Every structure is written in structure tokens, then in C-alpha cells.
Amino acid sequence: MQPTTLRPATGHLALPFFDEAHRHIAARLPDWANAQGVDESDDRAACRDWVRRLGEGGWLKYCVPGEFGGALPQLDSRALVVLRETLAFYSPLADFALAMQGLGSGAISLGGSTAVRRAYLPDVASGRKIAAFALSEPDAGSDVAAMKLIASAARPDCAMQEKDGSFFLDGQKTWISNGGMADFYCVFAKTDPDGGSRGISAFVVDRASEGLDDSAHIAVMAPHPLATLSFTRCRVQADQMLGEVNGGFKLAMQTLDIFRASVAGAALGMARRALAEAIHHAQRRRMFNQTLADFQLTQARLGEMAALIDAGALLTYRAAWLRDTAQGSAKERSVAAKHQKDCSVAAAMAKMCATENAQRVIDMALQMHGGLGVMVGSKVESLYRDIRALRIYEGATEVQQLIIGKAVLQEAQS
């Protein structure tokens, strides 16, 4: 990552969604990120380097609760949004490294026993251990309930606990971020094969566990560490379960709800960088005896890009604010349930709009660069590849549309 003279916008931090803790992050992180100079030619080596640096810099402390080495008392969606938006402006790979530490350990933060949280979370916060979230399967992506990885006793088709309290995992996970380099995986498996989404449990599985093979790396258009995990009679102890038996689906959704708004934050960071690159280029590119920025068509396009970014930003900051401020604000179960639903819908809107808008903004920036935009090694070219996955992972755009549409219909009926 080469240092840049461009800096992310900060005006939005004056909005009432944020407080001093978030503004403090935004004030310190740009200079730190810009000074790192990580060699990103090898994505796996770069991610390890970023995790180490982010840990030493204290930034990974925002990925775990305060009791276990975190910077804030609880996981804070607004802090994660500010962190990811800023890091993604400079390096989408740095953003990836931070995000996976949070997402990969989120199920431990939410559902792990005190002993499990003490065993893993301080090392996540320091960067000594790399985390991964293992939910998707070859035939179970958006349809989580279709997963086939089984947690069973002696026979793969028998969902019973071993007498010593352990389970055997058999099956596969794929598209796993940090796959092949993580120190541990938060794995979701069927403890009741016929239970659908109500038959899923979660476990923390160390990479060194016998019966786990994470060597099948997956190459993608914007290099990131991904792999397929294969489990063959992989034993996990009962105390490695996260949350309750058959409570894994709820735990997975709670984890994703915390981090979904931060995906939107990452998209904002990439979009803001694309806009900054477009402005920088337009002000310097001369044609027909004037600069590209002097053309009204260029000005109109830049205005459209700025509006698309702000539209996604407002939805993103609202979603993160709702999630942070709704925690513990409702004592009645029915009211708490509505708060949770509102947070989930707001996060879906943010993720959908911010990622889709960022794709449009980056495409416009590339077009404005002309031939330079498709030259391998240019910033807008790499952003064009980096942004594409954000419209798919942690809930594809179509899934977010379904969440929002279902909520709108339910609201109308009530």
C-alpha cells in the first residue's frame, strides 16, 4: 500500500449519530493507516501483517468487549463503521483484516462461556490470533438452513452427543474468509439434521484440530484469503459450543446484524476514495484547452457520485446508531423484539444501498479516468474489483431486499 495525499471526508462526523469516542477514532486513524506501507502483493502475508499492525496499534480492541481486552464496554457498531470506512479508503485489505477479526470472533463475544471468551478474545484484540466465521457451504449460502455440516456422535447421520460430551463434525464449509490462515473458526453445524434453522449449533474449532483440513484455497478477482474447510470426524468438546444447543442460527444472525452496517461502512470508504480519485484526476486532466473538471457533464457526474455516497452514508450511520442505542433500552419483550427487528431492517437497507451505490460511484470514477481506469495497478481499477464482493457477502443484495420487503408488508398489515 503506497501512501496517498488524499484524505477521507470528515464532515459527517458532526452528525448526531456519533459521539466523542467515534470522532477520536476518525481523528487518529487516517495518519496511522496512511503511514503503514504494507506490501499487499501476497494477500495472505499482507493480511497477517495487517492483523499484527492493527493489533499493535490498538485498533483490534474495538472488535471485542471491554471485559476481554476491548476498547469499549460492548461491541459498538458505530465504531466499527468509522474504522472500516477509514481503513477501506486507504486499503480494502486492511479493512478486511480488521472486519474478519470482529466477525470471526463475534459469536464468541455474544455466546461464548466466560472461559471461552477469556481463552480467545484477548488474543483477537492483540492480533496474536486470527479469527474466522464459518457459516456458508457449497449448497447453503443465502439459505443457511440448508447447511449439511453435521455435529453428531459415532455416526455422521446420528445427531447425538458423545458420552464424554463431545461432538464430531462432518461436512464442508466454503467461501470462508481467513480460511487456511485463521487460528480458530466459529463453525455452525446441524445438531438436529431435520430441524432446519432451529437445528443449528455453533462451535469454536481450533485450526490444529484433528479432522479439519483448511488447505483448499480459493482464488478470487480481488485477492483475499478464502478457503474451503473440510471436516472429517473432527472432534469438538461440549465446552466449545457457543450459546445454546440448536441456538446457532439466532447467534449467527445476531453476529451478522452487528457487522452488517460495517460492511456498508467499508463500501462508503471505497466510494469516498473513488470520488477523491475522480476529483483529483478531473482537476488535472487537460483536454480541449481546459480541465476535465471544467466540463458541466463532469460536474454533474461528480455531483451524482457525492449524492449517492451521502444517501448510503445516512442509512449506514442510522443503522449503526439504532443498533448501539437500542441495546437494553426496551424492558418489555415485545418492545425489545420490535427494536431488534427495526435494527435488522435498517442494517439491511444500509448494506443494500451503500454497496450498490458504491458500485455505481466506482464505475463512474473508472469511466472518468478513461483508459487509465482499466490499467492494472491504478487505484480505481483495484477498487472496481474490490467493491464487487461487498454486494454478495454477509447477505447478498437480493436477501436484503427480501428482508426489507417482508418488513414493509408486515408493517402495512399491522
Catalytic residues: 394
Alpha helices for 91-210 (secondary structure H): 92-111, 114-126
With H, G, I as helix, E, B as strand and everything else as coil, classify residue 112.
coil
Burial of 278 (0-12, 13-18, 19+ CB in 10 A): buried
Distance of alpha carbon 217 from alpha carbon 390, whole angstroms: 20
The Cα–Cα gap between 28 and 216 comes to 38
Interatomic CA distance for residues 317 and 4, integer angstroms: 26
Closest listed residue to residue 261, CA positions, set 340, 355, 198 = 355
CA distances from residue 390 to 58, 262, 266, 357 in whole angstroms, order as listed? 26, 11, 8, 11
Q: How far is CA 408 from CA 234, 346, 414, in A?
A: 43, 12, 10
Dihedral (Cα; 358, 386, 376, 47), 10-degree rounding: 140
Per DSSP bridges, beta strands 212-217 and 226-236 are antiparallel
Helix (H, G, I), strand (E, B) or coil at 228: strand
- Helical axes 92-111 vs 114-126, angle rounded to 10°: 170
Residue 54 contacts residue 237 (beta carbons within 8 Å)? no
Q: Which amino acid is at 243?
A: G
